[in-house]
Structure 1
Amino acid sequence: MIRVLMVDDEEDVLKAGRLFMERDGDIQVDTATSGTGALEKLAVMEYDAIVSDYHMPGMNGIEFLREVRGRFGDIPFFILTGKSEEEVVIEALNSGATGYQRKGTAVREIFTDITNQLRIAVQKQQMEQKLVQSEIRFFDLVEHANDLIESVRPDGAIVHVNRAWRETLGYTEEDIAAMTIFDVVAPEALDEYMHLFAGLMNCAEHSRFRTTYLARDGSRVYLEGSVNCRCENGNPVATRGIFRNISEIRRGQEELRLLHALVDSLPCAILVATPDGEISEINSGTAAVFGTSGGDAVGMPFGDLIGDHQVAREVIAGAMKDGVGHGHCVTGGEDGLLHLRIRGVRVDGDEEYVHRLVISCLDDRRMHMARESFRLLAEGVRDPVAVLGGKGEILFANRPMAALAGIPDPNRLHGISFATLFFASPLPEPSLADTDPLPWSACGGKVTGRARVLPLVYEGEDARLLILSDAHREELG
């Protein structure tokens, strides 16, 4: 239903106008006999259109129009004028009138024409309002999306980025206005990105594209997403890219590769088995200790591997009951007596169920080799790494960990309580689960990072391997 306010100081004109405009049932007409009275109605009621006479006492139609435009916006407004009042028509249109209709013809023709005009004007305005509302909703959706969204012109100028893009990369609106997308792409990723961009200028679409951006602080942000180009008449207008931040996933993958490298480099046998003792994974040290290949060992019962089913059952039972099982066995090779340690890995949230067994087998000679191999590998890692004993004392720390503590020589950290050294918040519980590192802070928030803690056997004893990623120490003073 279209609500129309008709304003005229002649009651007969108002009655005729209402009669003709309401006859099709889609228009409802309200009336006022003066501009002042009409403004009072507009203050309490919303109308879709206004039809007003020009000649009215007190406030003429153009004065009323200007009041409407100043106070109520762009409501479609039609003015009725005399037959030869060209100057009034021009002034009305210049003041914001939507249309006009001259009096002097038959009443039916006047109001038939004005009704057709206002229907078209109201429909147009409603469509424009819906378009604006749709654009607002779309902009709100883009602006508050978790993904990084960008639009870039063919010359590399950045047309638009959303909140997630700005917050993730740390650039301000002023920064973005002064740079191109090629300033954001990391140098090592620029050649591949330029190749992609050239393809986009031919209106190609790239999905599952990975690249690396530089944040404002110089850190690298790893992204994955899709990019296409909006083209008009075969010419590129702007690219549209939607990316998700995979930096945490990538760092997690790097940490897992580090852990696999640590385990695989140890000159002792490290195995993963099911609760009934069937071997599912082994490291390269297993072949050296037992003289078997990975293909032969995987699927084999642990008792067959060590040649003593009784010992295997006892240490597995200890792990299933107490979390850790200990034992010894004698190999047929030169290594002689082997120390066995089995740790039961439980499912998060279910302390009753052991779903994997982690088994270490080493002799005294390999125990020393394992320690030295681990230390050499950990020293080559950029992230701070430490091994903590059962009471939280530091058994080993690499140089990045010592630097984080503000101590030049990592050997001086040996035996010091980690919690006391850093005034640290509690560390996560040791877990072999593939989970993201957890936020961690120390020294009253002066030291921050993300911590991953794993169970470890170090020098024959239970320990914890601590890896800190994104570690940062705030400069004091």
Structure 2
Amino acid sequence: METPVDDGADRTIRVLLVDDQPDLAEVTGLHLENRRDSFEVVLAPDGPTALDRLEATAVDCVVSDYEMPGMDGLELLRAVTEREPSLPFILYTGKGSEEIASEAISAGVTDYLQKRTTSEQYDVLANRIENAVARRRSERAREESEGRYRTLVDASPHAILVHYGETIVYVNDTMVRMFGFEAQSQAHGTAAMSYVHPDDRDAVRERMRLVLDDREESDWIAWRLLRDDGEIREVESRGTPVVYDGQRAVQVVVRDLTDQRRRERQLGALNGALDDLAAADARTAVGETAVDAVVTLLEAPTVGVFEAVEGALLELAVAGADGVGFPPDARGLPDDSVEMAAYRAGTPRLVDSYAAREDRLVDGVASVFLFPLDDDGLLWVGSREGFASADRDALEILGRAVVAAFDRLDD
């Protein structure tokens, strides 16, 4: 049986007093109730009866004699612990020895006290009971609070971790995904600094120290996170001092800024490219500017600007990622290729699974984005990873700027 969690409304402390001497048990019970208005003492003459009482009554503490017929105090302690491990148990015996005390401690007794027939002894026993129950209630309240905390944090859309010093003791599911793990257990017990880029560790460590020492919430700090798969993510975090499992700790909320930072860089690069295209004085300069812009906008792209000349698409400017590139002797695109089909259709086209096509121009490219430049040619961009919608939007803006630059030169 599990005793209901105390909600603070009922402060009664129910004591199960187990003693095979009824008169002595009754006197002890009266002394305890006289010393604490909150005490309510239930008597049991032996171990089996005490176990029945536990099944029928919510009890906050067991106080038991040691030497009793049928089941002694240590046997009762083991039986109670098996049923309810956290229930305080005080061995209160008139026949004590170091051997009994040692065995009781090994069995998990909360406290050990020898009987005395003095008023002071009842004061001591009342204090021991009150303190033991207070500790248990405090622990259960903490566990309940942390249970609610975990429920809230687990459901949070924000990535959250908790660490003692530099050791991670908790992560929520969003943080698990940010780390690139499959389960929370993969992060538990690991060093927080192992996920921080080496160049950022001193700044992050200093911020962690300030939160732990000053017990104040930190400002947001930007740093680079190292995922389990080696990918680097740009993040920012804020630390808050908390108490977790009874210890001082730091709760960290982490926000992934990688896509936001990338879009900011793309916008900067795109604005620069638009200015350069507006100033380009030759078609070759337009092509080279467009290629350079794509290399800045995307990660490791393969890119080409092909110019329409008498119905054919000829290479004007190209750049390849490491190990990937257009054949040096193939300036023109095949007439029956997917590229020529997109050019003739005049609409942008995303070609997934490009590496599986027999008519592919290059190897090592997973997806290709084709943007017809009106009658002037084609912008060809290949990626090993594929294209996000923001990437395609940026490429379309760039493509329209290239068309405008060609039109300006043709006027």
In 1, Cα distance between equivalents of 2:234 and 2:150? 25
Letter in 2 for 1:375: A
2:341 aligned to 374, 392, 416, which one? 416
1:430-469 C-alpha deviation (Å, 9 max, x unpaired) = xxxxxxxxxxxxxxxx9644123446546479xxxxxxxx
After superposition, the Cα gap between the structure-2 partners of 1:263 and 1:49, relative to the gap in structure 1 and judged at 3 Å, is same
In 1, Cα distance between equivalents of 2:284 and 2:23 = 109
The superposition leaves residues 201-231 of structure 1 with CA deviations (integer Å, 9 ceiling, x where unpaired) of 797997443222333333221122346999x
Provide the C-alpha distance between the structure 1 equivalents of 2:316 and 2:284, rounded to a whole number of angstroms: 17
Q: How high is the TM-score relative to the length of structure 2?
A: 0.59
Partner of 2:388: 450
Partner of 1:75: 87
Q: CA deviation at 1:134?
A: 4.5
* CA positional deviation for 1:194: 3.6
Where does the alignment leave 5 or more consecutive residues of structure 1 unmatched?
Answer: 231-236, 268-284, 289-364, 388-393, 425-445, 462-477
Shift of residue 245, structure 1, vs aligned partner: 1.7
CA RMSD of aligned residues (A): 5.3
Query: 1:169 pairs with 179, 182, 186, which one?
Result: 179
In structure 2, C-alpha distance between the alignment counterparts of 1:144 and 1:114, rounded to whole Å: 45
Any conservation in 2 of the 1:200–1:228 contact (CA below 8 Å)? Answer: no
Q: Label 1:135 to 1:12 Cα distance change in 2 as closer, same or farther (>3 A).
A: same
Q: What is the aligned counterpart of 2:138 among 111, 124, 127?
A: 127
The equivalences for 1:295-314 within 5 A come to none
Residue 184 of structure 1 deviates from its aligned partner by 4.6
Q: 2:8 — aligned with what?
A: none
Return the offset for 1:247: 0.6
Deviation at 1:45, TM superposition (A): 3.9
Letter in 2 for 1:79: L
Amino acid at match of 1:50: V
How far, CA to CA, are the matches of 2:129 and 2:20 in structure 1?
Answer: 21
Q: Which residue of 2 aligns with 1:259?
A: 270
Q: Following TM superposition, by how much is the alpha carbon of 1:416 offset from its aligned partner in structure 2, in angstroms?
A: 2.9
**Which of the numbers 29, 38, 59 marks the counterpart of 1:26?**
38
Task: Give, in whole Å, the separation in 2 of the partners of 1:410 and 1:4.
Answer: 93
Q: Which has the higher strand share?
A: 1
Paired residues, number: 330
After superposition, the C-alpha distances for 1:125-156 in whole angstroms (9 at most, x for unaligned) are 22233344445555666677623547586xxx
Structure 2 distance, partners of 1:49, 1:109, is 20
Per-residue CA distance 1:241-286 (angstroms, 9 max, x = gap): 654221111111122123322332332xxxxxxxxxxxxxxxxx6x
Equivalent position of 1:63 in the other structure: 75
Helix, strand or coil at the partner of 1:57? coil
Determine if the alignment matches structure 1 residue 118 to structure 2 residue 56. Answer: no
Shift of 1:35: 0.8
- Seen in structure 2, the aligned counterparts of structure 1 residues 140 and 372 have a Cα distance that, compared at 3 Å, is same
Q: 1:221 to 1:126 in 2, by over 3 A?
A: same
Q: Which has the higher contact order (CA 8 A, sep 6+)?
A: 2
Answering whether residue 16 of structure 2 is matched by residue 5 of structure 1, we say: yes
1:80 is paired with a residue whose SS is strand
1:18–1:407 distance in 2 versus 1, CA, 3 Å: farther
1:139-218 matches, within 5 Å, as 146-147=158-159, 149=161, 151=163, 158=167, 160=169, 162-163=171-172, 164-170=174-180, 181=193, 184-186=195-197, 190=199, 193-194=201-202, 197=205, 207-218=219-230
Aligned residue identity for 1:248: D
